[in-house]
Amino acid sequence: MNAPSAEKPPDPAMSLKQIVVAIYLSPRSEATARYAVGIASVFGASLVLVHVYPVIEVNEFMTEEDYRRMDRQRQAAQAALTKLTQTLQAEYPACEERFLIGEPAEQIAWLARELDADLIIAGSHRPGLLVRLFNLDQAPQILHRAPCPVLVYHPKKAR
């Protein structure tokens, strides 16, 4: 079977204009985002990097310092998303960011609907015990809620 020619323009039925990229701010986030840039550049699509910060349950035992620490963590996550977005914009200007708060899969699916996205790209966590135990891998949950196709990026392992 022959591979498709790189010079052949994409099939109009496969047009991608808007891609949502779920960013978990893990060590693999930049690789996932760069993979998305590669796809977006082929189709001339715009990218929206989205990070969803979880809702933190508060209780009466929390101190003022606890609230300040949580606010610093949220600000650090937002700054990390902005830094990654700016890094990618240097090579692919059609890239923006969204920082949301809530349940990750639900918020990513909501944003994809709001933007009428053509594709969601999500990174995969390695299927270790903690990931399975605490249901940390959001990709399967996004897949079930998404209004469009979902591509799960698995970085190649070093050989």
pLDDT at 127: 54
Sketch out the chain's domains with CATH numbers: 16-153 (3.40.50.620)
Taking only the tens place, the pLDDT of each residue in 105-123 is: 999 999 999 999 999 999 8
Taking only the tens place, the pLDDT of each residue in 6-61 is: 566 556 557 899 999 999 888 888 999 999 999 999 999 999 999 999 887 877 88
- Of 151, 150, 141, 147, give the one whose Cα is nearest residue 112: 147
- What average pLDDT does this structure show over 96-107? 94
